[in-house]
Amino acid sequence: MKNNSILYIGILIFGIAAPFVFPAFKVQLSILCVLIVLATTWNIQGGEMGYNSFGNILFYGLGMYLCASVQVGMFFPLAEWTESGGEKTFVHTPAQFFQGMAVGLLVAAVVPTIVAGLIGYSILGLRGHYFAICTLGLGVAAGEISGGIEIIGAGQGFTTPPFPDVGSLDSRGEFFYFLSFFTLVLTFIAVRSIYSTRFKLILNAIRDNEDKAEAMGIETMKYKIIGWMISAFFCGLAGGIMGGLVGYIDSTDVAFDGREMGVFMVLMAILGGKGTLWGPIIGATVFHIFKEGFWTFFLGWQYVALGVLIVVIVIYFPEGIMGWLREKYPERFGEVVDEKDRKAQVELK
Amino acid sequence: MDFMVFQYPMISVQACLDGILLGILFALIAYGMALQWGVMNIINIAQGDLVILGGYIAYFMYLYGIHPAWGVIVAPVIMYFVGIAIYKLVINKVVDRDLFISILATFGISILFMQLMNFAFGADVVLANSDYGTTMLFNNNVVLPNSKIFSAFISILFAICLVIYMKKSKLGRAIRATAQNARAAKILGVDTEKVYAATFGINAALCGVAGALISITFTIHPYMGLPYTIRSFMIVIVAGLGNLPGVAMSGMGLGVFEEFADYILGTEFRIGSVFLLLVLILIYRRFKLSRKREYLK
């Protein structure tokens, strides 16, 4: 326990000091925070509940559009803003920008949660691959439909409000870094406290055998919907922040980007180890470093690398980093290993 | 929203005929998916990308001066070996595992193919011009390109040939036996590994035929694969595995639906409406099944 608190304080200090120690990596670190949030929340229903969704991108994109629309719509007419060049006519004052951002993030988190609750009853009744394909369809449909809606920029995209002039040039990066880091801390605390309750055990029961869980008297549907809503809450929040960070929203390339973000969150959770607290965090960090390296040095080949990576991870490494560690050092995870068993295993190898 | 389609009945006729001819093509792709889903219990997300790859084969023949209709014969032969290569490299490692693993692995293949095609053939929308002309019907009110009629005819021909092959040949019997019970087939001396490879190859070959026909009748683009996967998945779940007339009917239904969605909602919502229809069908199926479960109580 003592080790853990030292670890947490260390990470917290690193997180607060990071933008000042590595000023060049501020944007990358903010994206990393968002990626960790996405992977961790995907893990709630993908890893713990066993409902492998490709559709969490729906909440992410919804949050992104909602946050930006609210931030603009509170002060200026939205339709004129999204017409090309509108963002040059209207300028947010700092107070307007931060107010809009606060309200926007709130809406971006709450509305996807409600949406998840509403569609949850019909969609979470699907099992296995039907659920996976249905959520895949949902994500793509959302992207295609939002690309046809005129008021949020349709095909030409939506420029989010530019960061106001508050004196220092570094303040934009710092603001978004601390915003995403704060969200990450919030997510971690929330997920960690969820994982220490009975709720997590119920989710695991649903993953292991849903029919048996139902027979034991658990209202599985209720818990499935709650699990999905928690996911949606943080996905929407992450989407809202990412929209402000990127500065530009396009329906299929940024917001509902099933080919990138939608796969990334699944891949990060699997790479780190599904169904563990630290797995998605480690997975996201490793993946982000790998991705940035590849995206920088092999530009153009990144999707080829991504495709190969998915196939390799899924076929040869489905347990993830945490699963591998667990097999290697079972004592660290609180498992008691019989000395005889271990010798037998070594002999087998 | 555009309701012209209801004011002029000839547009409805046009949409229906277009949709049926298009739907026959979808049904051919869905037949391939049903085959490998039934035999190997794998959902192949890369199905649509195999279709597009087949289309590029026909397109390249067109570029080198050969009539693209010959692609209908060349594409399946090449795609058969591509399918077997994919099976040997990836699919045989995921056959017996969790379905989600296979979905994710084929999703990876799909992304890989998409990007490789983008490198190799460029990101332009292309089509192979067949110069078949058009047919006018109903006092010149309905225009049907002959290439569409040709492609529907070829699709039906291939489907019938495959059905006969599955019924009569030794390999066809082995495939059907493996689909029914892989373990029992293995005990009785069927080399299931070979059967799986052949099944995936046949599926890829069907995709190749469909792709070649699509490149003649419509357009192809490296990123257009996923909608074809979703369409074939939808057709298979509506029709059910192993129900061939159902596959044909639901394929045509989907084609007609798409044409009408195109007219009424506008072309920009066409793909979106397909994906939305998938979600709606799955939800409908879920409530239908849950009602069935309640009877048991």
| Phi, psi dihedrals of residue A170, rounded to the nearest 5° | -75, -10
Pick from B43, B116, B279: which is nearest to A134 by CB? B279
The C-alpha angle with vertex A242 and arms to A239 and A244, in degrees rounded to 5, equals: 115
ipTM above 0.85, yes or no: no
d(CA B47, CA B204): 8
The C-alpha angle with vertex A207 and arms to A230 and A202, in degrees rounded to 5, equals: 60
Pick from A137, A263, A314: which is nearest to B105 by CB? A314
Specify the residue for token string 């990470």. Answer: A11
CB distance A235 to A41 below 8 Å: yes
In a domain, A333, yes or no: no
State the pLDDT confidence band at B91, using cuts at 50, 70 and 90: confident
pLDDT by residue (tens digit) across A54-86? 888 889 888 888 888 888 887 777 777 777 655
- What is the pLDDT at residue B191? 86
The C-alpha angle with vertex B56 and arms to B54 and B58, in degrees rounded to 5, equals: 75
Q: Look at residue B97 and tell me whether its pLDDT is greater than 60.
A: yes
d(CA A271, CA A320): 5
State the pLDDT confidence band at A1, using cuts at 50, 70 and 90: very low
Strand A248-249 to A158-159 pairing:
antiparallel
pTM: 0.84
pLDDT by residue (tens digit) across B121-162? 877 777 777 777 777 777 677 777 788 888 888 888 888 898
Side-chain half-sphere CA neighbours of B138 within 13 A: 11
Neighbours of A330 (CB within 10 A): 14
d(CA B189, CA B197): 16
CA distance, residue B10 to nearest chain A CA (Å):
27
- What is the pLDDT at residue A307? 84
- What is the pLDDT at residue B179? 85
**Number of residue pairs across A and B with CB atoms under 8 Å?**
125
In a domain, A21, yes or no: no
Q: How many domains does chain A have?
A: 1
CB distance A20 to A171 below 8 Å: no
Average pLDDT of chain B is: 83
Taking an 8 Å cut-off on Cβ atoms, the answer to whether A314 and B116 are in contact is: no
- What amino acid occupies position A98? F
Neighbours of A4 (CB within 10 A): 8
- Token pair in block for residue B195: 């059967």
Domain with A30, as residue range(s), is 26-318
Average pLDDT of chain A is: 81
Which ranges constitute the DSSP H helices of chain B?
4-7, 9-40, 47-63, 71-86, 92-94, 99-121, 146-168, 170-180, 182-187, 192-217, 225-239, 244-265, 270-296
Is the C-alpha dihedral spanning A144, A149, A155, A159 positive or negative? Answer: negative
Chain A neighbors of B94, CB-CB under 8 A: 314-315
pLDDT by residue (tens digit) across A89-105? 677 777 788 888 888 88
In a domain, A230, yes or no: yes
Domains by residue range for chain B, with CATH? 4-296 (1.10.3470)
- B46, containing H or E segment: none
d(CA B172, CA B207): 18
Taking an 8 Å cut-off on Cβ atoms, the answer to whether A144 and B230 are in contact is: no
| Residues β-bridged to residue A249 | A158
Comparing CA positions, the residue from A16, A22, A146, A154 lying closest to residue A79 is A154
d(CA B95, CA B92): 5
Q: Is A167 left (phi over 0), alpha (psi -120 to 50) or beta?
A: left
Neighbours of A16 (CB within 10 A): 12
pLDDT by residue (tens digit) across B113-122? 888 888 888 7
In a domain, A5, yes or no: no
State the pLDDT confidence band at B294, using cuts at 50, 70 and 90: low
State the pLDDT confidence band at A334, using cuts at 50, 70 and 90: low
d(CA B166, CA B174): 9
- What amino acid occupies position A9? I
- What amino acid occupies position B263? Y
Taking an 8 Å cut-off on Cβ atoms, the answer to whether A315 and B233 are in contact is: no
Pick from A145, A259, A266: which is nearest to B104 by CB? A266
- What amino acid occupies position A309? L
Taking an 8 Å cut-off on Cβ atoms, the answer to whether B100 and A132 are in contact is: yes
- Most B CBs within 10 A among A225, A311, A312, hence the mutation to make, goes to A311
- What amino acid occupies position B26? F
In a domain, A12, yes or no: no
DSSP string spanning A254-312? IIT-IIIIIHHHHHHHHHH-TT-SSHHHHHHHHHHHHHHHHHHHSTT-HHHHHHHHHHH
pLDDT by residue (tens digit) across A151-178? 776 667 777 777 777 766 677 888 888 8
- What is the pLDDT at residue A288? 87
In a domain, A144, yes or no: yes
- Token pair in block for residue B171: 């390999």
Chain A neighbors of B100, CB-CB under 8 A: 52, 128-129, 132
